[in-house]
Amino acid sequence: LRLEKLRADQALVKLEDANQRLLAMATTDALTGAANRRQYGDRMGAEVARAQRKGFPLALLALDVDHFKRVNDTHGHPAGDAVLKAFVGLIQTLVRPSDLVARTGGEEFKILLPDTGLEEAVAIAERVRERVAAMEVRPDIDAAPLRVTVSIGCALLVGDMASTEAVADERLYRAKAQGRNRVVWR
């Protein structure tokens, strides 16, 4: 009986480990390790509800790596992948554990900033923009370093999730139209 209990306990541990791996695969971008669209949507919905219920601020950053197609076309997709991995790795060091970095498109990302007002969100966005512009990525040992910049749109919660995303995206497009490598927050 003890042996059967031990086997059952070991099987349960293996099952829980497999479930954790499956959850990570279902909610994480395989290339960058950032949250994927599914996790972003779930978390955004929960944070919007929480912010509305408690009256806390909620900020959203919409980011796009500038001229990313040029990186892939000039240096190849492995170099582009290296840039995206380094980009997410850097951003993860600049945000709090409670924030969420998500890959929502090829070179498009969102950063969800719970309990964050506009002034602090703009400061985070500027820090991300500056650090990305200073980042050098070497896709391989013999390659010259690659540099990229990022355009960022910043919005506070305005009504619901879709409205907030629309405002952040519109500001992102303006940042690109105004010359890229900038943050637009109004």
Pairing verdict, β 150-156 and 108-114: unpaired
User: Residue holding tokens 């929502």?
Assistant: 104
Structure tokens at 20: 């954790």
Beta pairing partners, 171: none
Phi, psi dihedral angles at 49 (to 5 degrees): -60, -45
- Separation of alpha carbons 62 and 105, rounded Å: 11
Q: CA Rg, the chain, in Å?
A: 19
Active site residues: 107
Quick one: DSSP state of residue 28?
B
User: Does residue 147 contact residue 133 with C-beta atoms inside 8 Å?
Assistant: yes
User: Does residue 137 contact residue 145 with C-beta atoms inside 8 Å?
Assistant: yes
